[in-house]
Structure formats: C-alpha cells, structure tokens
Structure 1
Amino acid sequence: MGELAVGETAPEFDLEGSGGERIALSALKGHPVVVYFYPKDDTPGCTKEAIAFTDLIADFRKIDVTIIGVSPDTAAKHDKFIAKHELAVRLAADTQTGTAEAYGVWVEKSMYGKKYMGVERATFLVDADGKIAQVWRKVKVPGHAEAVLEAARAL
C-alpha cells in the first residue's frame, strides 16, 4: 500500500471508540477531521501528544474540527487512558490494524536490533469533503498539535 497523498479520498473506517461509541469517518463528513495515529496508550510520547491535542480542543471545536486518535489498543485501554489523563479527544481502537494499513502507517520498525510491525506516528487532516488536506509523517510531538491547528484554520 502506497502513501496517501494530499487530494486523495481518506480511507473510510468504522471502529470501536472510547466509551462504547462507534467512530466512522463517513459519519463526520461535512466537517474537517484530524485523524492522528499513535503507537500505544499511556506511553510518554503518545501521552504528550494526546494531552497537547486536549489542551487545544476548544480551539479545534471553534472551527468545527473533530480530533480522533487511532491506535491498536482496545477501547477499554482507551477508556483508562482518557480517564487517567482527562483527555478530551476521541480515541478509536484499530485492534486489527486495518485502518493503520489503509493509511500506510502500519510499518516495520526496529528497536534494540529487533524488527517488528507497529504504528508510525502520523497525522492526517481530512477536509469537509473527505479528502486529505495535509499529511504529517514521522511526527515529532513538540509543537505538532499547534501546527495541525494552524493547518485546520486554513481550510
């Protein structure tokens, strides 16, 4: 699967979300959506990223943008993660990794010389028509949520 490019239609997903909700991209059509992929709940970088988006949630809501974090963790783990850090973002459980694969972020990684498959930290800004407006790959967390907010304001 190749990398998604700006202007392409964002792949549809329908995943179990935190709090027992279903999160489907098609249900959000007509409004911009930030879909950010992260490796694992309650790890240092992932926690900082979720908190950074939560800190800016009021600004995203003012411009009618929904934020959805996606990881392979279960919805139950997402619920604990949200409660522990008082997160305001919606989290979706991609336990079968099909959504990460569709977005091209399920990749081979390496740690301590061992290779394994995992989620590459990446963010997709999807416009109101369901097209990819901007892509951030291999995201570095500091300043990222602010950069996404600026891009969303420009839609």
Structure 2
Amino acid sequence: MPVGSQIPIAEGLFTWPASDPALIGAQCRNCEAVAFPSRETCPRCGAISMHRNELPREGNLWTWTSQGFRPKEPFCGDLLGTGAQPWFVGLVELGGRIRIESILHNVAEQELAIGMPLKLTVIPFRTSDSGDTVITFAFEPAPHITTSDSTEAAHV
C-alpha cells in the first residue's frame, strides 16, 4: 500500500475503498434483529444465523451529547485538533431498525435537533506511523432527507 493512502480504522466496519461507503452490519435470519458492527451470533435470540448486510447510509438523529475535552487514553485520534472546542456524539437511527453511536460531523450545537436527517460520511481520524490517513465513519447533516416522526428521544 503506498504511503499516504486512506485506510479504515477497523476492517469490516464500513465498505472501503468506496465512492459511497456503507456501514457493514448483520441481520439475523431467525428473528431479523440487526446488529452493528457485524457479528456471527444474534444479540436478540442467540442464533448463529447472521448474514452480512450494508446498513442504510441515511438516518435521523435520535439523541446527542457534547464533549468539551479530549477523550482519555487509549484514544489516539487527531480529529479534534488541539483546541478544546466541543464535539458531538449522537445515536443515529437507521431505517427504524438500529441505532448507531457516531461522531456528528460538520454541525454546530445550535443546528442539532432530535429527528434531524443525517447521512454517513468518512472523516480523517489520525495519521498512522507509516503516513497513512486512518479514517472513521461519522454522520453529518443531510438537509435533503425527510425526517422521520418515529422516535421520542432527548438530548442527554
């Protein structure tokens, strides 16, 4: 792999390389539960009948919180820079079937609203010792998507 490539933070977490990445989840053939990240056994019924599937790339903000300080070790990302500005983490509901914890990217606190439409993106997380950009997934505002009216949630 040439130096300066983009590499995923973990294999099998999202499709990469891809022009339109998707999170890789799994769905139980027995009870239809959806899991992320992908796994072999069902978190609901315990069956060993999970099959890999790509999760929806768009969803809605179910809840969120802010953090104004760098995470404690073993966090090794550069994505926050050196400033102490708040950054946001949210639960994003995808297709009414699963909620994914994610960094919220390209959004200001005053823009965050329960139910707001979000879309999947990838962002730089850190630079590896070999000079590669390690990327991770995040969600950012998607104003063209219609919000769902399915959730009752709150800012925590």
TM-score bucket of the superposed structures, by smaller chain = under 0.3
TM-score by length of 2: 0.27
Task: Answer 1 or 2: higher relative contact order, Cα 8 Å, separation at least 6.
Answer: 1
Rg larger in 1 or in 2? 2
Q: Which has the higher helix share?
A: 1
Q: Which has the higher strand share?
A: 2
